[in-house]
Amino acid sequence: MAQLKMVQAINQALAYEMERDDRVVLLGEDVGRDGGVFRVTEGLLERFGSERVLDTPLCESGIMGAAIGMAAYGLCPVPEIQFMGFTYSAFEQLFAHAARIRSRSRGRFTCPLVVRTPYGGGIKAPELHEESTEALFCQVPGLKVVVPSGPYMAKGLLLSALRDPDPVLFLEPTRLYRLIREEVPEGEYVVELGKARVARAGGAVTVVAWGSMLERVLKAVDGYDAEVLDLLTLSPFDIGAVLASVRKTGRLVIVHEAAKSCGFGAEIAATVAEEAILHLRGPILRVTAPDVPVPLAKLIDHYLPGPKQIRAALDQVLQY
């Protein structure tokens, strides 16, 4: 089995599905000739032609809106928004249309598209290139939000997302594109959306993470009896898996790289408080970025949660 980086695994998933299903078309800025700014779509223009890999003008709202029209017409478009910070220009299309077309038209029109966008910090990029505002999108009913944590998961989740009948926002942790290599089967396999994964079993504390934080959490918990849950899908998130683990360990730490206030960690904490508060032996702790805009390179290491903060939270909650 080939050892692939995440960027290659995603490329393989796109190529596999384009081969299998002629409704799948890619569109976005620089996705064609250039192969995408991270080279995720490299080689696909040559292989599938310019009718299926569309280099568009620079217009995020137009790209997203066009993808919605394509999806309503019966295609499975995969719009790429070059960086998560650029999805804000396409916000209205995602919120007001992609997530609502099925319900507004009572199923007459649907929106099976997969928005791919690199997300997250740690790559020394300019402003708006390292955002992780996933919680904004989780607030929207009708939109699924998926975040792979490595190459294997990325391919399996993307194949599921491409076959999902509803719009999916597929957030690709930029820092992980080339950081980890994993064995990735060449052919078909899918990872079900909406299911978390136990990335490491343990008994004393549950740590929930996703995306690029998972890699840091796994390093940080070395030496602790911690169970690490890789959430993988944020909307809808696997409530059952979180509750089962918390009921077992009695302690919960949530780690995300987005700002703390109203981050997705708040949703998890509130759900656990509603459903399993009597199983808790200590407070639910969140390890997050501070409530400030994502900084440029000089300060990014002070912004992103690191092993030190994660271990401090573990130490604190384990005192109870």
Q: Is 129 a catalytic residue?
A: yes
Task: Check residue 109 for interaction with other proteins (CB under 8 A).
Answer: yes
Taking Cα atoms as reference points, which of 251, 268, 261 lies closest to residue 196?
268
Task: Check residue 166 for interaction with other proteins (CB under 8 A).
Answer: yes
Taking Cα atoms as reference points, which of 52, 8, 62 lies closest to residue 31?
52
The least CB distance from residue 58 to other proteins, in Å, is 9
The backbone region for 69, taken as left when phi is positive above 0, alpha when psi lies in -120 to 50, beta otherwise, is alpha
- Strand partners of residue 268: none
On whether the CB atoms of residues 112 and 71 are closer than 8 A, the answer is yes
Task: Check residue 70 for interaction with other proteins (CB under 8 A).
Answer: yes
Interface pick for other proteins out of 141, 203, 283, 290 (rule CB under 8 A): 141
Interface map 245-284 toward other proteins (x if CB under 8 A): ----------------------------------------
Task: Check residue 290 for interaction with other proteins (CB under 8 A).
Answer: no
The bridge status of strand 168-173 relative to strand 114-119 is parallel
Interface pick for other proteins out of 14, 18, 26, 75 (rule CB under 8 A): 75
On whether the CB atoms of residues 11 and 41 are closer than 8 A, the answer is yes
Taking Cα atoms as reference points, which of 67, 9, 74 lies closest to residue 38?
9
Task: Check residue 125 for interaction with other proteins (CB under 8 A).
Answer: no
The least CB distance from residue 271 to other proteins, in Å, is 9
With respect to other proteins, which residue has the nearer C-beta, 240 or 290?
240
- Say how far apart CA 151 and CA 317 lie, in whole Å: 32
With respect to other proteins, which residue has the nearer C-beta, 136 or 221?
136
For 10, counting Cβ atoms within 10 Å of its Cβ (0-12 exposed, 13-18 middle, 19+ buried), the class is buried
Task: Check residue 110 for interaction with other proteins (CB under 8 A).
Answer: yes
Both tokens assigned to 82: 């070059």
Both tokens assigned to 96: 């007001």
With respect to other proteins, which residue has the nearer C-beta, 59 or 299?
59
Task: Check residue 91 for interaction with other proteins (CB under 8 A).
Answer: no
Residue ranges in 214-243 that form contacts with other proteins under rule CB under 8 A: 236, 239-240
Task: Check residue 28 for interaction with other proteins (CB under 8 A).
Answer: no
- Say how far apart CA 181 and CA 247 lie, in whole Å: 33
Q: Does the N-terminal peptide bond of residue 167 adopt cis geometry, omega within 30 degrees of 0?
A: no
With respect to other proteins, which residue has the nearer C-beta, 90 or 255?
90
On whether the CB atoms of residues 288 and 259 are closer than 8 A, the answer is yes
Residue ranges in 35-64 that form contacts with other proteins under rule CB under 8 A: 51-52, 54, 56-57, 59, 61-64
With respect to other proteins, which residue has the nearer C-beta, 61 or 316?
61
The least CB distance from residue 229 to other proteins, in Å, is 16
The least CB distance from residue 15 to other proteins, in Å, is 18
The backbone region for 107, taken as left when phi is positive above 0, alpha when psi lies in -120 to 50, beta otherwise, is left
The backbone region for 232, taken as left when phi is positive above 0, alpha when psi lies in -120 to 50, beta otherwise, is left
Interface pick for other proteins out of 18, 24, 25, 217 (rule CB under 8 A): 25
Enumerate binding residues for other proteins (CB under 8 A). 25, 27, 51-52, 54, 56-57, 59, 61-75, 77, 89, 92-93, 96-97, 101-110, 141-142, 144, 164-166, 194, 236, 239-240
Q: Which residues are marked as active site?
A: 129
